[in-house]
Amino acid sequence: MNHEPVELSVNIGGIQLKNPVMTASGTFGYGEEYAPYVGLDKLGAIVVKGISLEPRPGNPPPRIVETTGGMLNSIGLENIGVDRFIGEKLPYLIDSGATIIVNIFGSSIEEYRDVANKLDDTHGISGLEINISCPNVKEGGMTFGTDPHMAFELVNLIRESTKLPLIVKLSPNVTDITEITRSVQDAGADAISLINTIKGMAIDIKTKTPKLANITGGLSGPAIKPIALGMVWEVARVAEIPVIGIGGIMNAHDALEFIIAGASAIQVGTANFINPKATMDILSGIEKYLGDHGIGDIKSLIGTLRI
């Protein structure tokens, strides 16, 4: 069937995206490895692996375990630090024509602020995604994402230190995700992304030891999709800023569910490990759905869930 061209662009808190398909931080590196499979400039945006002020070695191996319908990871935010990112990785990404969003984290609110401040002065970055939701590190990470007061203080401080649009990435490891949503929105977030991984574990029954050296890790993949979808719907109902859906999106059908639930864009994570072309397949699947249903603009599909 031949269709009229459909409008796929979306604006996420001031970041103009060609289409709603983004990569999820930590599952697409800094883009280079995927370039043979994915037109980096064809993606809505690339969200790079989380960056801290100083390089971090991450947690000891084993750090990845396959589980039913998903995987557990305890990478522990291994990264090369903000200076090497700017010097060694960013030029390639800029040359590729990609829309670049930098995922950042710190072990104190001052560290978050300093990373944000360095990136504010750097050319070629469209926005920051603030990770307040990593379950695999002792300090920082999830503690900021589970306490509404700390989350407010953190986002407020970063807001003062950068002009870049701020996406705040939420943790599912909370009792009421709408409470954190309100806090970060009041503190000046321009958009919200959710969810990060859900804390879990796996045990080797022969040795009676945990399969991950870190004992627990973050669960991702199809197993978490219904949880993520439910949380995106809950958050989109109360948020006054755009919501980005993440969690177990493996194909266009999954992505469309999130958009109908209220997500203005989606991020693809674990699927990249199984099918390196997953983002491109999802993009063409969304386009086909819009064409088949006579929907001329993706924006008119967002939040159309009928209850």
Q: Which residues make up the interface to ligand FMN (CB under 6 A)?
A: 24-27, 49-50, 73, 75, 77, 103, 131, 169, 196-197, 220-221, 224, 246-249, 268-270
Q: Which is nearer to ligand FMN, 6 or 177 (CB)?
A: 177
Catalytic hit among 22, 38, 86, 134 = 134
* Residue 58 Cα distances to 136, 157, 197, 210, 304, angstroms: 9, 26, 17, 18, 41
Q: How far is the CB of 56 from ligand FMN (least distance, A)?
A: 10
Q: Which is nearer to ligand FMN, 6 or 262 (CB)?
A: 262
Q: How far is the CB of 47 from ligand FMN (least distance, A)?
A: 7
Q: How far is the CB of 223 from ligand FMN (least distance, A)?
A: 8
Task: Name the residue with the smallest CB distance to ligand FMN.
Answer: 26
Helices (H) and strands (E) in the chain, counts: 10, 16
- CA distance between the termini of the chain: 31
**Which tokens belong to 176?**
């009421």
CA atoms within 13 A on the CB side of 286: 34
- The answer to whether 134 is a known catalytic residue is yes
Q: How far is the CB of 27 from ligand FMN (least distance, A)?
A: 5
**Which tokens belong to 255?**
């992505």
Q: Which is nearer to ligand FMN, 27 or 107 (CB)?
A: 27
Q: Which is nearer to ligand FMN, 6 or 217 (CB)?
A: 217
* Residue 164 region by backbone torsions, left for phi larger than 0, else alpha for psi between -120 and 50, else beta: beta
Q: Which helix or strand (DSSP H or E) is residue 70 part of?
A: strand 70-73
CA 194 to chain centroid: 7
The catalytic residues are: 134
